Each structure stands twice: as C-alpha cells, then as structure tokens.
Amino acid sequence: MFLETNNSLYHLIRAMRPRQWIKNISLFAAITFSGYLFDAGIFLKTFLAFLIFCLLSSATYLINDIHDASSDKLHPIKKNRPIPSGKLSVALARMSSIIFLSVSLLMALLINPFFFFICFSYLSLQIIYTYKLRNVIILDALAVSLGFIFRVLAGGFAAGVSISSWIVLATIGLAMLLSFGKRRSERTILNASGLSLETRKTLAHYPDSLLDSMISTSASFAIISYSLFTFQTSPQESLGIVKRFLPASLSSPKWMMLTIPIVIYGVARYLYVIYEKKEAESPERVLLKDKPLLGATILWGICVVLLLYIFS
C-alpha cells in the first residue's frame, strides 16, 4: 500500500477532507441551469474553479482543525481526525494550509477578479466562523449556509453566466436544512455518548425544539423555492421528441416541475436520517452512505440533464 496509515501524506490528505469536496459540485449549478453544461470552454473554466475551491476549502479545514484540536479530542468522532489524534503534526498542517491558500487565491485571480473576490470572501467567512461565529447560536448555522451560497455564486462568476435568484433561494433553504440538521444530529450523538455538549459551545444553547423548528422551516423553504425555480427554468416549448404525441393543452408545459417529487423525497429522506437513523452529523457522509438519498440525487441529476438538454 502506497500510503501507510502512519504516513504523514496519508493523514494530510485525510485532514483535507476530500469527501467534503462533494459540496463544491454546486459550482456547476450556474452553467447547468443556464444551458452551458456541454460548452467545452465554459465547462473547463468551471471545472478549474471547482478544483480551486477544493484546494481553498481544504486549507480552511486545516485551519479549523488546528484551532479546534483540543476540543476535538473530547468528541467521540472528531477525536479520530489526523490533527487531534496526533497523527498529523500541527506544523505540517499549518505549512500546508499556507501553501494551499496561496496557490488557490493566485489561480482564482488568474480566472477573473470577480471569482477571486468570491474566493477571498469565502476564505474570510471561514476564518471568522472558526474564530468567532461558530460560538454564536444561529449565526453559526447561517455562516455555514452562506458558504454554500458563495459556492453557487463562484460557479457563475467563474463561467461568466447569470444565476437565477430562485436557485440561490433554494440553495439557502437546502443549506440551512443541512446546517441545522447537522447540529441536531451532533446533539443526539453527544447525548447518546454521555458526553458534554461543551465540545461545541453553541450546542449547549440549542434547544431541540428550536432546531426542530428551523429544520422544518428550512425544508419547507427549500421545497417551495425549488418549485418556483422549476417553473421559471422549464423550457418554454414542449419536448421536441414527444411534441407530436401531446395534446394542445400541453404545448408549453413546465417540464422541470417533474423533478419536484424527487426533491421532496430527497428532503424527506434526509429528515428521516436526522430523526430515525441519527446519522446526519456529516451531510456529505450521509449522501454517500445512504443509498436511497444517493439514488434520489443521481436520479434528479439525470432528469435535469434530460429535460434541459436532451428533450428540450
């Protein structure tokens, strides 16, 4: 095995959290819904932006883990991370984060000033979150949600395409659902382990009733915003392939609305994971491990591509 478990490079890669790079796929939202997904030049530019954001976000994860090393040692899951477990030295992690930040920001500037601005804003948000906002109830979850918005905007800035306000609103709802759901699951895990909620200061101040209300509100907001988004985004003409077989009343239907049930199922499945499986402490892990949720996500992606690019 090339990377042994005691190898610094192996643990550095672990600390970079490549699993969480899945969040950066949201950079492709702008070109997907603007009709440029299969434009080679624009796609490559967005893919480069995706790689830059992966490097930038990994740098912020290293900064966060260095700062939280002492408290993470008390957490039943986070204590196994490379830095709090002592498998990755703080010096190497700090040096790596500086290199990653320098390279990612330089590459961002080469794409265009607007993309550099959103990258710098994302970095600033993450640093403020690590040292201040994470200890402020509600604002901690909103800061995490804002990170998702920055990703969507970054994709549009990098590609130079417009972004629907409705997809931004839907992203806000989904991001809030993930953020508050994560905190609900963290409370459940710590209580089940008999450990103090002080491993994350804000958790002790989050009543379950507040988290439940915010989760419910965020889920409803995400579904409604996405539904309105599909109404605005759907092709104005009937699907060319099947147009001849449809009645006149369906000459200009809102085909993207067919994806709404998939989104409703996905949101409901995530709520099930939060309250029944109690495994939503890591949203990206849930997506990869929960087969029904992963299947719904893949099905949604296929349907979007078919409706916007193949059948329109």
The domains found in the chain, sorted by start residue, are 1-163 (1.10.357.140), 164-312 (no CATH)
Dist. CA 290–CA 185, nearest whole Å: 15
Among positive and negative, which fits the CA dihedral 202, 26, 125, 54?
Answer: positive
Token pair in block for residue 74: 């008390």
| Torsion (CA) 116, 118, 123, 127 in degrees, nearest 10 | 140
Dist. CA 24–CA 113, nearest whole Å: 20
- HSE toward the beta carbon, residue 95, CA cutoff 13 A: 6
Dist. CA 29–CA 154, nearest whole Å: 10
How high is the pLDDT of residue 309?
85
pLDDT lower than 70: segments of the chain: 1-6, 75-76, 190-201, 234-253, 278-281, 312
pLDDT tens for 151-194 read 999 999 999 998 888 889 999 999 999 989 888 887 777 666 65
| SS3 of residue 85 by DSSP | coil
Task: Show the 3-state SS of 125-154.
Answer: HHHHHHHCHHHCCCHHHHHHHHHHHHHHHH
Dist. CA 164–CA 148, nearest whole Å: 15
Burial label for 60, CB within 10 Å (0-12, 13-18, 19+), is: buried
How high is the pLDDT of residue 1?
42
